C-alpha cells in the first residue's frame, strides 16, 4: 500500500498575518464522460468514501421507476432527494410532504435527528424550545426518496437502509455500471445517516459525475441517461433545495444557472458535474477530512479548468478563501486554495 504522502498534493495553505502556518493536502481528478482523464492532483486511484456526493445516484431507482410521475415530483422535490439540506422550514415541510405522498410519516425515517445545518433555523428551533427531529437531518430528503422508491417498486420499507435490502442492491448496481467498476469492487460502509455509502477510487466517482454532466458512456442505457438528465436538471433548477441559504453548493449551482452542479460529501469530499461548454466530472478529497478550505479548492480547480466565467468567479469570490477568527472575533488569517492541476 502506498504511504499517504504519495497519494496527495498540497491544495490549501493556512495563512496567519500573511505568513504560511499550516497546509492541507488532497487528491482530485477530472474526467470526460468517456472516462478519459483530463487533469489530476495526487493519485486518482485513491479510494475513499463518496459520502453524500453519492446522493444523485442513490435517487436513480425512484426516477427509473417513474417516481416523478407517480408522486407528482417537481424539480424542487427531486433536488431535495439529492440534497444535504439545511433543515430550514422550507426543507422540512417539503420532506414531510414527500413522505405523505407515499403514505409515510417522519417516524418511518431511519436517518436519525440532528440540529439544522442552517444556523438561523437552528437558533429558531432552540428558541422555540423544540428538539430536532429526523426531518431536520440533512439526509431526510434522500431517505424520503428511498421510501417512495420502496413503495413504487413493491419493496418492504422496513429496514430500507440495510445493504442487503433490494433497494440498496439496486442502487449499488447503478453505481457500479455508471462508475465502470464491478459491484464487488465497491466497498460499503455506514454513512452518518445510517444508509450505505460507497468506497471507490476518485476516478470512478469523477466518471459518475461526468455521466451526470453528459451521459455518453456506451454502457449506460437510454433510460438511465434520461434519469440522470432529469436529476441534474432538477438540481440546477432548484439549487436552494440542494444545500441551503448562503451555502457554497447552492451558490455555485445558482451562479452558473445549473451549468455546473456540485455536491458535497462529509470528510472533505466534493463532486462536480460540469455540463458545458465541455462536459466534465470532478471528484475531490481533502486528505484530513477537513472542510474549511474545500470550497476555495473547488473554485480553484474549476477556474483552472476554465469551467467558470470571470463573472461567475467574481460572484463566488467570498468562498475563495475561508477567514479565520480568534476567540475575540479578530480575523487572524485565512485558508487559501493552493492548487496546481497536473494534465
Q: Does 281 have pLDDT greater than 70?
A: yes
Sign of CA dihedral 93, 98, 99, 101: positive
DSSP type of residue 342: B
Q: How far apart are CA 75 and CA 26, in angstroms?
A: 33
- Helices within 85-180 (DSSP H only): 89-101, 119-127, 140-153, 166-179
Q: In this structure, what are the phi and psi dihedrals at residue 19, rounded to the nearest 5 degrees? A: -120, 140
The structural domains of the chain, ordered by start, are 4-330 (3.40.710)
Q: Does 27 have pLDDT greater than 70?
A: yes
Kind of pairing between the strands at 9-16 and 269-274: unpaired
Report the pLDDT averaged over residues 178-187. 97
- Residue 195's pLDDT band, with cuts at 50, 70 and 90, is very high
- Residue 340's pLDDT band, with cuts at 50, 70 and 90, is very high
DSSP assignment of 240-281 equals: HHHS-TT-HHHHHHHHTTTSEEEEEETTTEEEEEE-SSS-EE
H or E stretch including 284? strand 280-286
Report the pLDDT averaged over residues 276-294. 95
38-66 core/surface letters (b: 16 or more CB in 10 A; e: else): bbbbbbbebbbbbbbbbbbbbbbbbbbbe
Q: Which three cell numbers stand for residue 342?
A: 497536473
Q: Does 5 have pLDDT greater than 50?
A: no
Q: Does 33 have pLDDT greater than 80?
A: yes
Q: Which three cell numbers stand for residue 68?
A: 416523478
pLDDT at position 218 is 62
DSSP type of residue 184: G
CB-based burial of residue 154 (10 Å sphere; 0-12 exposed, 13-18 middle, 19+ buried)?
exposed
Q: How far apart are CA 113 and CA 19, in angstroms?
A: 41
Tens-digit pLDDT profile for residues 123-165: 999 999 999 999 999 999 999 999 999 999 999 999 999 999 9
Q: Name the average pLDDT for the chain.
A: 95
pLDDT at position 244 is 97
pLDDT at position 1 is 39
Q: Does 216 have pLDDT greater than 80?
A: no
- Residue 3's pLDDT band, with cuts at 50, 70 and 90, is very low
Query: Considering just the CA atoms, what is the radius of gyration of the chain in Å?
Result: 19
**Nearest CA-CA partner of 151 in 141, 160, 162:** 160
pTM summary value: 0.95
SS (HEC) of 37-66: EEEEECCCCCEEECHHHHHHHHCHHHHHCC
pLDDT at position 217 is 67
Tens-digit pLDDT profile for residues 110-127: 999 999 999 999 999 999
Q: Does 202 have pLDDT greater than 50?
A: yes
Amino acid at each position: 500500500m502506498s504511504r499517504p504522502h504519495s497519494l496527495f498534493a498540497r491544495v490549501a495553505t493556512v495563512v496567519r498575518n500573511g505568513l504560511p502556518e499550516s497546509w492541507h493536502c488532497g487528491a482530485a481528478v477530472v474526467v470526460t464522460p468517456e472516462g478519459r482523464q483530463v487533469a489530476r492532483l495526487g493519485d486518482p486511484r485513491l479510494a475513499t468514501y463518496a459520502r453524500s456526493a453519492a446522493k444523485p445516484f442513490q435517487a436513480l431507482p425512484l426516477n427509473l421507476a417513474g417516481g416523478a410521475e407517480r408522486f407528482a415530483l417537481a424539480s424542487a422535490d427531486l433536488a431535495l432527494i439529492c440534497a444535504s439540506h439545511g433543515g430550514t422550514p422550507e426543507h422540512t415541510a417539503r420532506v414531510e410532504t414527500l413522505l405523505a405522498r407515499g403514505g409515510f410519516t417522519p417516524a418511518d425515517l431511519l436517518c436519525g435527528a440532528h440540529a439544522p445545518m442552517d444556523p438561523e433555523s437552528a437558533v429558531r428551533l432552540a428558541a422555540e424550545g423544540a428538539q430536532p427531529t429526523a426531518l431536520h437531518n440533512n439526509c431526510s430528503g434522500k431517505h424520503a426518496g428511498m421510501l417512495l422508491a420502496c413503495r413504487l417498486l413493491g419493496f418492504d420499507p422496513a429496514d430500507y437502509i440495510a445493504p442487503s435490502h433490494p433497494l440498496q442492491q439496486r442502487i449499488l448496481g447503478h453505481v457500479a455500471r455508471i462508475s465502470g467498476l464491478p459491484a464487488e469492487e465497491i466497498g460499503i460502509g455506514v454513512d452518518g445517516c445510517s444508509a450505505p455509502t460507497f468506497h471507490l477510487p476518485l476516478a470512478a466517482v469523477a466518471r459518475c459525475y461526468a455521466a451526470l454532466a453528459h451521459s455518453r458512456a456506451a454502457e449506460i442505457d437510454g433510460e438511465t441517461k434520461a434519469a440522470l438528465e432529469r436529476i441534474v436538471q432538477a438540481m440546477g433548477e432548484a439549487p436552494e433545495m440542494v444545500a441551503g441559504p448562503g451555502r457554497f453548493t447552492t451558490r455555485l449551482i445558482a451562479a452558473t444557472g445549473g451549468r455546473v452542479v456540485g455536491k458535497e460529501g462529509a470528510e472533505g469530499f466534493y463532486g462536480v458535474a460540469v455540463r458545458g461548454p465541455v462536459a466534465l466530472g470532478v471528484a475531490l478529497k481533502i486528505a484530513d477530512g477537513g472542510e474549511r478550505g474545500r470550497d476555495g479548492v473547488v473554485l480553484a480547480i474549476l477556474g483552472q479548468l476554465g469551467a467558470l466565467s470571470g463573472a461567475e468567479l467574481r460572484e463566488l469570490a467570498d468562498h475563495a478563501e475561508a477567514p479565520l477568527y480568534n476567540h475575540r472575533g479578530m480575523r487572524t488569517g485565512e485558508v487559501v486554495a493552493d492548487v496546481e492541476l497536473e494534465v
